[in-house]
Amino acid sequence: MADLLTLLNNDTAIRAASRGTISDMPRLVITGTGEPLQTAVSGFETIHLSAIMVDNKNGWDAANYQWVVPETGTYEVNGKLRLADGDYSSLSYGLGMDTANQDGPTFFWGQGAKNRQGLFNSRIMNLTQGARLRLFAYIDSATPVGISGAEMNAVRIA
């Protein structure tokens, strides 16, 4: 019986310690909304996010729309992008979260159609303290395209 009681006490202690550690991990949830939030032109462009919902380590650089990573570690990073309603049948567009404009295996591409268009991109990233993470899009259009909503969130998982 003592062995079972010891195991239960250890399990309770481990769970309590984990909750404290997990809740202190760096977290960011930031959104941008409006009609339009911004107008994107052809090429890569940083998305203008400004409504901070959670930033428990105060790493958001509002002037540059970037999150300064507070701790080195492994992060789950998610990005969302919603284009203003319209006919985008011939439009290609993409969404990424990174420290620099880049197309690659983790950059998510979408193909336009009529009415509502949006993208979601989720990644696991190894980030170093001081790196600057941002949400960016590539719009393949000579005509400006409205972005009506966007969100980026990041949480350190290890």
Sorted by where each begins, the domain ranges of the chain are 26-156
pLDDT of residue 157: 92
pLDDT of residue 2: 56
What does the buried/exposed string (b/e) look like for 57-95 if buried means 16 or more CB atoms within 10 Å of the residue's CB? bebbeeeebbbebbeebebebbbbbbbbeeebeebebbb
* Structure letter (DSSP) for residue 42: B
Measured from the Cβ of residue 101, the count of other Cβ atoms closer than 10 Å reads 15
Residue 45 pLDDT greater than 80, yes or no: yes
Q: How confident is the model at residue 138 (pLDDT cuts 50, 70, 90)?
A: confident
Residue 42 pLDDT greater than 80, yes or no: no
pLDDT of residue 12: 57
Type of residue found at 141: S
Q: How far apart are the first and last CA of the chain?
A: 35
* Structure letter (DSSP) for residue 41: -
Q: Which CATH class is domain 26-156?
A: mainly beta
> How far is residue 66's CA from residue 59's CA, in Å, rounded to a whole number?
8
Structure confidence by residue, pLDDT tens digits, 51-66: 899 999 999 999 999 9
> How far is residue 133's CA from residue 121's CA, in Å, rounded to a whole number?
14
| Tokens found for residue 126 | 């190894």
Structure confidence by residue, pLDDT tens digits, 78-110: 999 888 887 777 777 888 888 777 777 778 777
pLDDT of residue 127: 94
The pLDDT mean for the chain works out to 80
pLDDT of residue 11: 55
Residue 47 pLDDT greater than 70, yes or no: yes
Residue 95 and residue 121 in contact, taking contact as beta carbons nearer than 8 Å: yes
Sequence-distant (6+) residues with CB within 8 A of 134 are 46, 47, 64, 65, 66, 67, 97, 98, 99, 152
H/E/C letters for each residue in 75-116? EEEEEEEEEEEEECCCCEEEEEEECCCCCCCCCEEEECCEEE
The mean pLDDT of 16-32, rounded to a whole number, is: 71
